[in-house]
Amino acid sequence: MNPTNKKVTEKIFETCSKFCSIVLTISCQYAKIHLDIKLCTTIIKGDFDMYIPEIPNNGLKTQLEELVCIARKAANESEKIRLKFEFNPPATDEEINVLEKTLNFSLPLGYREFLQFSNGAQLCGQTAEFENINSVIDMNKTKITLGFPSKYIAIASFIGDGELLCFSKETGGFIRWFDGNETYFDTFYDLFEMIIRRIKSKVEDYIDL
């Protein structure tokens, strides 16, 4: 090979190497983005970062989509303390199994589906604060407060005034409990719909729904 052809060949090889490097870099970045999507870890950038887990395709999906939509809109508002939303990574099947074994009770379907979305959550400040699995276990080991029925399992606090959200180990239904006063909900979906309505009434002065 003469010197001129050799230089041309080397130049072509160098150019191809650079091109392949660029393609590889883009491919890796795309793969990372794709992996992030697969992991469904969404970070909302605003005055603060908010993690939003993937919404599972289950019976709670529509309500969770509505909740997340509100949370996104509230993320940049100046009233961020009152409107704060905070989600956790989903509970694993193993964590859910530990909870069921500890309670000696199979979790109602809707509540199980919520845990599969977020293992505990703060929803619009003190509107509803769902405990994570470890906290649910700890708080139900002893009598929660005077008059609280032993057949109930507390899973969240509500509106910050001492009210509790619970489910019954006898019926699987859900209860809004406060100082002996009880409001019943047949399913977690009914309870969650009430929570979303309460959140909407709280945020409507700050964001467009």
Written as one string, the DSSP assignment of 155-205 is EEEETTTTEEEEEETTT--EEEEETTEEEEESSHHHHHHHHHHHHHHHHTT
- Strand 86-87 versus strand 181-185 pairing type: unpaired
Q: Note the pLDDT of residue 145.
A: 87
Average pLDDT, the chain: 84
Q: Note the pLDDT of residue 10.
A: 57
Q: Note the pLDDT of residue 87.
A: 98
Single pTM value for the model: 0.77
pLDDT tens, residue by residue, 3-40: 555 554 555 556 555 544 544 444 444 444 343 434 34
Whole-angstrom distance, CA of residue 94 vs CA of residue 187 = 24
Higher pLDDT, 129 or 9: 129
- Strand 152-158 versus strand 86-87 pairing type: unpaired
Whole-angstrom distance, CA of residue 204 vs CA of residue 37 = 30
pLDDT tens, residue by residue, 163-200: 999 999 999 999 999 999 999 999 999 999 999 999 99
pLDDT tens, residue by residue, 134-148: 999 999 998 788 899
Question: Is the four-CA dihedral 100, 105, 108, 111 of positive or negative sign?
Answer: negative
